[in-house]
Amino acid sequence: MRFAWTDEQSDLRRGAVEFASRELVEGVAERDRDGAFERELWDACAAFGLQGLLVAEDRGGGGHDLPSAVAILEGVGYGARDNGLVFSVTAHIASSLSTVASFGTEAQQDEWLPGLTDGTLIGAAGITEPGSGSSLLALETSAKESGDDWVLHGTKTFVTNAPVADLFVVYARTGGEGFAGLSCFLVPQGTKGLSVGPPMHKMGLRTSPMAQIFMDDCRVPASALVGSVGSGAMIFNQTMDVEKLLVMAPAIGVMERLLERCVQHARQRTIGGSTIGGHQAVAHKIAEMELGLEAARLLLYKAAWARSERPSVTRESALAKLAISETYVDICRAAMQVFGGYGYMVDYEIERELRDALAATLYVGTSEIQKNLIAGLRGLG
């Protein structure tokens, strides 16, 4: 076991911190207030190579392995302040681009990978439905064959990037029971029968656009099918294993930055002639923050390593996602306590960090879903 990055990975992380600190900091408060997605910043991320992290070099990407991608995204989380934009980028990589890169046909990859990789195209994934929650088996969106085409009917909700997306990866029921009845399709923006609802207003991650999508007699050619009929659940599960790690990696960087801010504040803030860091209640809270961060970080790294060794890491990714998301919220709440009344003020930015963090226990499978997965693999439930 070697509990350290290689020199190359350390350089990649350092470069990501420098990029994010330079490009993804200014104007965040205003964009958060207005719920504004900034396309210029998306393009800056693409120019740096974020969207193409996992895409092969001969396809125009960076050709990084998953542990290296995790290191880079952790660095982005540390340097950036625009958590919403970073979330949009990671969702694009994990749920749209990776689906095409890993499971798409040669023709699908030729058509969509260049734009998804260089950031000229934005991807979105239609999974959750109003009546299904986090249950893949409860999906009601249907896809039925009609001549040489497929016709989709249904509604997807909480679709990240939907208002700005050029391509939707949509999961639908093609017949049959259980997981065997699910398939995956590529639906371009502008397809007849596809419409996007108004932007949804969220508590946090407000710079990441979200909306519902509606499919009513939405006709796509047979070539829009990803994989084979009935392979949707397999595609979804393998994609989600990676998505959990990619979207949570920046949170490790955010937590490290908040921990450092709290240490600095505890050393400088004085009450009654002594620093608050000299009070055991504050010092212990910071020690607990560091413990939570290190445990979450190691679970992330282990899961990323495991995924580079084998295709399925459901247990490892569920453990990492659960630990990181819950610790993320805990550390943001602890930071607010360390800063006291100042932490509640908008200018200190901690209240925004907490609002953004709360979503982590919900997206890419709630904490309860992760516990179900972990327990299920032990033969429980």
Task: Give the position of tokens 């002639």.
Answer: 273
The residues pairing with 154 across neighbouring beta strands, listed in sequence order, are 215
**Catalytic entry in 23, 74, 129, 243:** 243
Query: Do residues 381 and 229 make contact, with C-beta atoms less than 8 angstroms apart?
Result: no
What ranges make up the beta strands (E) of 113-197? 123-126, 142-146, 149-160, 167-173, 182-188, 194-196
Main-chain dihedrals φ then ψ at residue 221, nearest 5 degrees: -70, 165
Distances (CA, A) of 26 to 20, 22, 49: 10, 8, 20
Q: CB-based contacts of 73: which residues, under 8 Å, 6+ apart?
A: 16, 50, 53, 86, 90, 246, 249, 250, 253
Q: Which amino acid is at 16?
A: A
- CA–centroid distance for 300 within its chain: 14
Q: Is 243 a catalytic residue?
A: yes
Report the chain's terminal Cα–Cα distance, integer Å. Answer: 34
Other CB atoms closer than 10 Å to residue 361's CB: what's the count?
Answer: 18
- DSSP output for 360-375: GGTTTS-HHHHHHHHH
Q: For residue 150, give the 3-state DSSP assignment.
A: strand
Q: Compute the chain's Rg from CA coordinates.
A: 21
Nearest to 358 by CA among 323, 325, 324: 325
Q: Which residues are catalytic?
A: 243
